[in-house]
Amino acid sequence: MAHLLARVRMWAAHHRLAWWLTAGVLALVTGLAVDAAASTPACPTADALSTDDRSTPRSGERAIALDRRSDQLALEPGDRVDLYAVDDLTNSGRLLVSAARVLDLDDGTVTVAIPRRDVGPVATARRWGDIALALVPPD
């Protein structure tokens, strides 16, 4: 009988150790998660706040690349352009987006930021014809 009681005591001690070890690990993991969630992010530096990043779309905008033909406008990042759909079936263009912001350009393409709601019409217009750019004068 003494042997049986000794085995029961060993079993209980073993399970207590496992329980306390598991509880300690869970407390450590929970504490690390709470510390990570409660920590405040570092404030941006003055240099980061002062830079005018005109080459990325802002919230609510999407960047879209358009072909540049031989009749290229003299554009720079930050300029505003109107986008017109032009096809072979009609003799007039249709305004797709007004005052789209130029993000980047090279010899063959120009990347503009357009509102998210206008991505579908612009993509459709690119499929069925060309898109003409009209430079918007600065305010």
Distance CA 33, CA 23 (A): 15
The answer to whether residues 79 and 102 touch, using CB atoms and an 8 Å cutoff, is yes
How sure is the predictor about 30, in pLDDT bands with cuts at 50, 70 and 90? Answer: confident
Task: Identify the pLDDT of residue 102.
Answer: 92
Task: Identify the pLDDT of residue 52.
Answer: 55
Q: What are phi and psi of 22, to 5 degrees?
A: -65, -45
Rounded to an integer, the average pLDDT of 61-72 is 80
Q: Whole-model pTM above 0.85?
A: no
